[in-house]
Amino acid sequence: MQEQQKSFFAPGAILFVGFLIALAIFFERGVDTLVIPRIPERVAEEAPASVVDAAKEESGIAVSVSEDDDAVLGSPSAPITIIEFSDFQCPFCGVFARDIKPKLEETYILPGKVKLVYRDYPILGEESRLAAVAAECAGEQGKFWEYQDILYQNQRAENQGGFRTANLFSFAQKLSLDAVAFGSCLSSGTYDEEVAKDTADAQAAGVPGTPVFIIQGKLYAGISTFEGFQAIIEKELGAIR
């Protein structure tokens, strides 16, 4: 992966995910009939090297990132805010969504202690951008988080058709979304600027890859377990009690 696209987990985890990716190449391809415009490449340069290096060397550095108007899971008044920058094709992002997020929901989000804000950082290619737009379109019908779950449950090899248009429609159908409204949203470019803004904000903050989490204004780029999140959250809760 390029410098900006690196993940931050232990070597053993990397080998395991590599194995999963190898398995994931076996899927059929299809031909799209709906053309979705590309999201403008408004921020071409990477974050300053000094900022990226600092983020890689020290999790917990202070950064300035807004919640913007992105999807929020949990009570808006929760005392702890986690802002996630993620890519729907990123294997480690999938691990978080499938294995860690449900535990965070049960332990902290549903009790009103934490809210999770999802911001797009589609750095792995065109299908990452298309999936990000599709999730926003599902959000128009009140199904952002449900659609997000389906995307992460259906990760395949990068940019090999896993998130082609036909599949994005299929995922929407599973949630009984209005197909006409969903298709119109996809083709209109309504959320191109929204996803581009998330990307620009991530780069401006020196976010070095995915997934990255901003917890109470501090950047963490290598949390790979629920226990890792728990330790940080409990520390932050203790600081405000």
Q: What is the pLDDT of residues 81-112, one digit of tens each?
A: 999 999 999 999 999 999 999 999 999 999 99
Phi-psi region of 177 (alpha: psi -120 to 50; beta: other; left: phi over 0): beta
Q: Quickly list DSSP for 48-104.
A: PHHHHHHHHH-TTEE-----TT-EEES-TT-SEEEEEEE-TT-HHHHHIIIIIHHHH
DSSP bridge pairs for 209: 6
Return the pLDDT at 19: 32
Q: Where are the domains of the chain?
A: 54-234
Q: pLDDT confidence of 126, banded at 50, 70, 90?
A: very high
Q: What is the pTM of this model?
A: 0.77
231 vs 48 pLDDT, higher one:
231
Return the pLDDT at 50: 41
Return the pLDDT at 80: 98
Q: What is the pLDDT of residues 29-61, one digit of tens each?
A: 333 334 333 333 333 334 444 444 444 434 789
d(CA 172, CA 138): 7
Domain range 54-234, CATH class = alpha beta
